[in-house]
Structure 1
């Protein structure tokens, strides 16, 4: 199998496996809505989920981590002309960093939250107050800052870069470029919800999280399917562009 087709397959595997894991998490833990719930609500629900909930978070983290493989392989798969390759390589590093930050945000539910939830459930009122403060601190740092703000922003920078390459490079269909820009814009709107955790009153569009993440995930699927199809030469110019040039 060629690098290009293998890359497309990796995109599909990462998107589908994360979609399954995150759907189970949504059904069993009301994710992502519960992320904005008060500390007592989250800690009680987490403790009630038991070991199975911890393993669900573990699976969600590492299925998202699979996305780093096709992101890192993409420059080899597309085989861009030398002048355009450095931009894609820089975008690749940004995309890989975004995956790392998001995985850290997910894995805190495996290594940080369980002892906090147990201490809160079995502790005295004084202990509970201390645990709630610790929960808020780690939730804002590991979740809002690393996973949701930096992780999502860098993922958007990567998808916009790939979309621009699709529009200009000729190695991917132009509709992939336009779809990527739309999905990235929708995903960016979710930052209002993230910023509101630090700045109450910041404008929030409630549907942005669901629409943005869904559109971005579907674009990843579409990118994977496109890479499985026969490759286009960077020198192939669509007919409408040739007519416009003439």
Structure 2
């Protein structure tokens, strides 16, 4: 693949990946008032899920595809960041490892909604009041555990690590505009903000997620522009 075609193809994939997130957001938002429903008590969330099982499975299924696609997108961005020489070094290897770990952690976090939570939602509808108390406890535990793996371990640690490493590769090798490197370092602490939830404080998942997607859109448009106008950073 020649240089221009590489920028064009990868840039298109990055833009598609950034846009794909809006599909499950739209589906789940209309079905169960997502992402606000993530903070609902089980007694409120489970009936919502049970009433929209098809849409919940569709939305989270697409969300799972989006997350696993990072195994392709993340290394591709790091590869372009290497510049003309494409000399793979320790930073590139670390970037690939971090984004693969992110995809796995995010997938685990999402799968809870396709398995445990949907099963509990179906069970909740026909359960006795005593059983519902037990189901409430199980759902709260599953949600807390899955959220910690997907959002805190995956997004707040692994994705931040990948973004920092890729930003350093950009600044060091110049395969992409340096502004992406500097802006990546600026976005990283915003993306890491949900980690404060481990210490009992609140953070906005929406703002942290928005920050990385704005960076992705900028990266994708710059890659496409470099391919069309023949300018390499």
TM-score by length of 2: 0.86
Structure 1: runs of 5 or more not aligned? 237-246
Q: Which of 26, 29, 45 does residue 26 from structure 1 map onto? A: 29
Matches of 1:10 and 1:172, distance apart in 2: 16
RMSD of equivalent CA atoms:
2.2
Matches of 1:64 and 1:223, distance apart in 2: 18
Report the count of equivalent residues: 225
Matches of 2:11 and 2:108, distance apart in 1: 25
Q: Conserved in 1, the CA contact under 8 Å of 2:82 and 2:174?
A: no
Matches of 1:227 and 1:61, distance apart in 2: 25
Q: Does 1:170 align with 2:166?
A: no
Matches of 1:227 and 1:213, distance apart in 2: 21
CA deviation string 1:11-68 (max 9, x = no partner): 1111111222223323332222221221111111111223122211111221232222
Matches of 1:76 and 1:177, distance apart in 2: 14
- More displaced, 111-120 or 49-58? 49-58
Deviation at 1:191, TM superposition (A): 2.3
Deviation at 1:85, TM superposition (A): 2.4
CA deviation string 1:71-124 (max 9, x = no partner): 133344344557762212211110121012112211221122111011111101
Structure 2: runs of 5 or more not aligned? none
What is the match of residue 158 of structure 1?
Answer: 162
What is the match of residue 239 of structure 1?
Answer: none
Q: Conserved in 1, the CA contact under 8 Å of 2:49 and 2:118?
A: yes
CA deviation string 1:130-168 (max 9, x = no partner): 21122122112222x210111112011101111122223
Matches of 2:208 and 2:190, distance apart in 1: 4
Q: Does 1:222 align with 2:231?
A: no
What is the match of residue 203 of structure 1?
Answer: 201
Q: Does 1:146 align with 2:144?
A: no
Cα 1:232/1:166, change in 2 over 3 Å: farther
